[in-house]
A and B are shown apart, each in its own frame.
Chain A
Amino acid sequence: MRTKALEAEIAAVSEDAGAVTRGWGALASRKEPVISVLIILVMWQILSLFLPRYLVPSFATIIVSFVEIVSSSTLMVDTLRTIMRIFIGLGLSFLAGIIVGVLMGFSNTLEKYILPVLHFIMGVPALSWVIFAIIWFKPVELRVAFILLAGCLPNYSLIIHDGIKGISRDYYDMLRAMRPTRRQLFSKLVLPGMLPAVLTSWKVNIGLATRVVIVAELVGATVGIGNKLLLAQELFDMPKAVAWTLILVIFLLLTQYLLLLLERHLLRWRPSKEGGIQ
């Protein structure tokens, strides 16, 4: 039982990931992505000639800001802090999510209790969690971690639960005929069987966490990309805002690419997707 929104998100993510590999692997041989990016850049540059810097800054100013950030210590301090928050949040959510997902996968009773709660949590906007976090907790890191947990845990649980449910009963019966212990059944069937879902859940949540962490950082964090974006907004420093956003996007593309490499390695047993519907 996947929600439509989640389904769409997963589809979008796998498409993204596909686009990323194709982009990296065949950038030289494929001109289409280069052309579409160039068109956007040219349009932006033309706009920047007519509009003030604080609305549409020219590339030159963006590049200057970017270089400024990259060459200063703030890049390391703020970016690393934000990335650390993302991974701590994801790690915690994953641990909790995998436990909840596995429990639901094994117990129909628990599934009935937990599933509606997860769907309810999924419906809560990220901004509401931000407000709850401010009211409930004082330490900034705790607030950020809580917001990420609330945002990412349901995804992890639902996708992993789905993955476990999707393991064919045929394999289960085949192994049971040999009388494995419960532990063997788990390590030889459930664990490898849910691996594709685990990887999907990471792909979905890396994107989600990167977006949510910025909002979470707006609530009292003095270090981090979210804080730097807020500062840029207060100073109407559009080049800085764009430059920081670029850094985030680069981070996201890079991690998604690494995840894809990992997936290719771990799921090398899967038939290649060639001959899909497109």
Chain B
Amino acid sequence: MIPSAPVVQMEHVRHVFTSVDGSRFVAVDDLTLEVREGEIVSIVGKTGCGKSTMFNLLLGLENPTAGSITVLGRDPYQDFDFFRAKFGVIFQTDRLLPWRTAFANAKVGLEILGYSEAEQGEIARHWLHKLELMGFEDAYPHELSGGMRQRVGIARAFCLSPDVFFADEAFGHLDQSTAQRLREVFLTLIGETKKTCLLITHNIHEALEIGSRLIVLGKPSRVLYDVQCPTRASRAELVEFEERILDIIERNEPHHEAAARARS
């Protein structure tokens, strides 16, 4: 197998917030990780471990205090405009613009790209159809259920045919069965596009279900454990695996494999 090109690289990234009273808060501490093309990586960690900060750093919305970040070979903060329509982002809350209908929300990225009305309509309708939202194009977000809103959010991300997908707790606020159904849909679509995907979550089941690789983050954000997800594992093995992950998160110390890698 030919090793594919790295899509996301974070090297010794550190991010410190300084509040108004001068106190400092380390959100990300010496974070080093690499994601290769076509990989679907789940990132798990406790809430408040700086996952969202990491997310903002990857999107180029903030500049890290130290270290370097490259996405698709460029710095997302410095080369801000290079990333026009390169990211497909699915947020924790759907972040649909309340004054836009489902259809208008789905195509907002295409408007930014300057597509013609006809193209916008065609692409948006295609993805709304894929996400089983036909008949709801003209509904405003408040008229849709949480699950449907997140579907629109997913359609909005796929409309751009981006190079890399980021999902931040994308199914976290939905009820179990809705979340389960939506995860399946999302996984299928990601599988079809064969694009790189980073999924941030606090739910280990979700991480294992979607990801082919799992990264455990400590608090502040640093890699505690980086492992390929077990495929075709027995039930007992899966339980053992999950317990190991939970234990690492709880102790907030690097797993010996990660520690060994850091030393080498």
In the complex where A173-B61, A188-B108, A269-B100 touch, is A178 in contact with B95 (Cβ < 8 A)?
no
In the complex, what residues of B have CB within 8 A of residue A268's CB? 140
Q: Is the CB of B142 within 8 A of A271?
A: yes
* Contact in complex: B87, A177 (CB < 8 Å): yes
Complex contact B80–A179 (CB within 8 A): yes
Answer whether residue A195 sits at the interface, using C-beta atoms and an 8 A cutoff: yes
Q: Residue on B with the closest CB to A268?
A: B140
CA distance A189 to B98 in the complex (A): 10
A residues in contact with B59, CB < 8 Å: 173, 176-177
Contact A174:B89 (CB < 8 A) given known A192-B99, A195-B99, A269-B98 = yes
Residues of B near A195 (CB, < 8 A) are: 99
Question: Given A177-B89, A178-B84, A178-B85: A269 and B108 within 8 A (CB)?
Answer: no
Given known A-B contacts A170-B93, A188-B111, A271-B142, A177 and B99 have beta carbons under 8 A apart: no
Chain B, 44-103, CB within 8 A of any chain A CB: 56, 59, 61, 80-81, 83-85, 87, 89, 91, 93, 95, 97-101
Per the bound structure, the CA–CA distance linking A188 and B83 in Å amounts to 19
In the complex the two chains form, what is the Cα distance from A177 to B36 in whole Å?
A: 21
Point out the residues of chain B lying under 8 angstroms from A112, CB to CB: none
Whether A184 sits at the interface, judged by CB under 8 Å, is yes
A132, CB-defined interface residue at 8 Å: no
B112 & A179 in contact (Cβ 8 Å cutoff): yes
Query: Counting CB contacts under 8 A, is A139 at the interface?
Result: no
Which residue of chain B has its CB nearest to the CB of A271? B142
Cβ–Cβ contact B97 & A189, under 8 A: yes
When the two chains form their complex, are residues A269 and B99 in contact, meaning their CB atoms are under 8 A apart? yes
Q: Which of B100-157 contact A (CB under 8 A)?
A: 100-101, 108-109, 111-112, 140-142
A266 to chain B minimum Cβ distance, whole angstroms, is 9
Q: Does A33 contact B (CB under 8 A)?
A: no
Query: Is A261 at the interface (CB under 8 A from chain B)?
Result: no
Considering the complex, which residues of chain A in the window 217-235 have a beta carbon less than 8 Å from any beta carbon of chain B? none
Q: State how many angstroms separate the Cβ of A75 from the closest Cβ of chain B.
A: 40
- CB neighbours of B91 from chain A (8 A): 170, 174
Given A170-B93, A170-B95, A269-B98, does the pair A177, B108 have CB atoms closer than 8 Å?
Answer: no
Q: Which of A178, A180, A188, A189 contacts B87 (CB 8 A)?
A: A178
Complex alpha-carbon distance, A267 and B112, angstroms: 23
B239 to chain A, nearest CB (A): 37
State whether B84 touches A179 (Cβ < 8 A): yes
Beta-carbon contacts of A155-179 to B below 8 Å, as 1s and 0s?
A: 0000000000000001101111111
Can you give 22 A-B contacts (C-beta < 8 A)?
A: A170-B91, A170-B93, A170-B95, A171-B95, A173-B56, A173-B59, A174-B91, A176-B59, A177-B61, A177-B87, A178-B85, A178-B108, A179-B81, A188-B97, A188-B108, A189-B97, A192-B97, A192-B99, A195-B99, A269-B100, A269-B101, A269-B140
| 3 residue pairs, one from A and one from B, having the closest CB atoms | A271-B142, A179-B84, A174-B95
